[in-house]
């Protein structure tokens, strides 16, 4: 495996009880930071840590914290020749083994969100030797078959996937929403301006893409980078 990955953890402020290890894997276009943006009193990793769990969070290849490669750069097309399949059969096993080796434990709880569940299902179906290393699997917003997606945006774009990829490749664009671009930085700043018109507009665009659920939209959060 030539790609890199990284793991984050929660620093415990209280004495750790032996509740076991919890490993969290983020979703598409996210990172380990997204688990903690709501702050210590509401974010799942902090809540688990307060209950005595040893919390570890993985970062899939390609995000802000996993962009190194033996010979390729993120600007290269070949750097991005992977999917959740490679994450599932190569990266997750490596991160799970690293966590278990560091803690001296033999198994852990796995919590995945969206693509984090997709990658784990690949692991579970193709690497039977990991069934004993994962004592429990919790799937949050599990994603398996894209044909069942209800988003009008995805339904409209899906038939044009090959044409869109060809166009982006011809333009030398291989990464979706890279954080070092000015437009992404401007969007992030706009989202953090409370009550701004742009914030409302971008929120509604997100609803079109991901589905409408106002109860799941939290516009007041810590300002971290994903």
Residue 15, pLDDT score: 52
Any idea which residue has 């437009």 for tokens? 183
Residues 51 and 37: their CA atoms lie apart, in Å, by 19
Beta bridge partners of 113: 140
Residues 186 and 184: their CA atoms lie apart, in Å, by 5
Residues 18 and 108: their CA atoms lie apart, in Å, by 12
Could you give the count of Cα atoms lying within 13 Å of 30 in the half-sphere of its Cβ? 18
Beta-sheet strands, E only, within 31-188: 54-59, 108-113, 134-140
Say which residue, 175 or 26, is predicted with more confidence.
Answer: 26
Residue 52, helix vs strand vs coil: coil
Residue 64, pLDDT score: 85
What's the first-to-final CA gap in the chain, in angstroms?
A: 24
Tokens of 222: 């810590």
Residues 68 and 109: their CA atoms lie apart, in Å, by 27
Domain boundaries, the chain: 1-144
Q: Give the CATH fold of the 1-144 domain.
A: Rossmann fold (3.40.50)
Say which residue, 173 or 137, is predicted with more confidence.
Answer: 137
For residue 117, report the phi and psi dihedrals to the nearest 5 degrees: -80, -35
**131 pLDDT band (50/70/90 cuts)?**
very high
Rounded percentage of the chain residues whose pLDDT exceeds 90? 41
Averaged pLDDT score across all residues of the chain: 83
Residue 93, pLDDT score: 97
Statement: residue 151 has pLDDT above 70: yes
Contacts by 163-167 with C-beta closer than 8 Å and gap 24+? none
Residues 4 and 46: their CA atoms lie apart, in Å, by 26
Residues 91 and 103: their CA atoms lie apart, in Å, by 18
């Amino acid at each position: 495996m030539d790609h890199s990955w990284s793991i984050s953890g929660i620093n415990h402020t209280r004495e750790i009880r032996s509740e076991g290890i919890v490993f969290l894997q983020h979703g598409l276009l996210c990172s380990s930071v997204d688990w903690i943006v709501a702050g210590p009193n509401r974010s799942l990793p902090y809540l688990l840590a307060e209950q005595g769990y040893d919390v570890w969070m993985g970062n899939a290849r390609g995000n802000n914290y996993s962009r190194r490669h033996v010979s390729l750069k993120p600007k290269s097309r070949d750097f991005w020749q992977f999917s959740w399949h490679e994450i599932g059969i190569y990266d997750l096993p490596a991160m799970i083994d690293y966590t278990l080796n560091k803690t001296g434990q033999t198994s852990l709880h796995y919590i995945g969100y969206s693509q984090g569940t997709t990658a784990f299902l690949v692991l579970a179906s193709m690497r039977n030797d990991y069934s004993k290393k994962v004592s429990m699997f919790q799937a949050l917003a599990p994603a398996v078959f894209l044909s069942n997606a209800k988003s009008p945006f995805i339904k409209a774009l899906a038939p044009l996937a090959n044409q869109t990829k060809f166009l982006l490749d011809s333009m030398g664009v291989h990464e979706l929403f890279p954080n070092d671009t000015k437009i992404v930085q401007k969007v992030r700043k706009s989202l953090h301006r409370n009550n701004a018109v742009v914030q409302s507009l971008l929120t509604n665009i997100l609803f079109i893409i991901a589905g409408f659920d106002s109860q799941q939209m939290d516009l007041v959060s810590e300002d971290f980078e994903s």
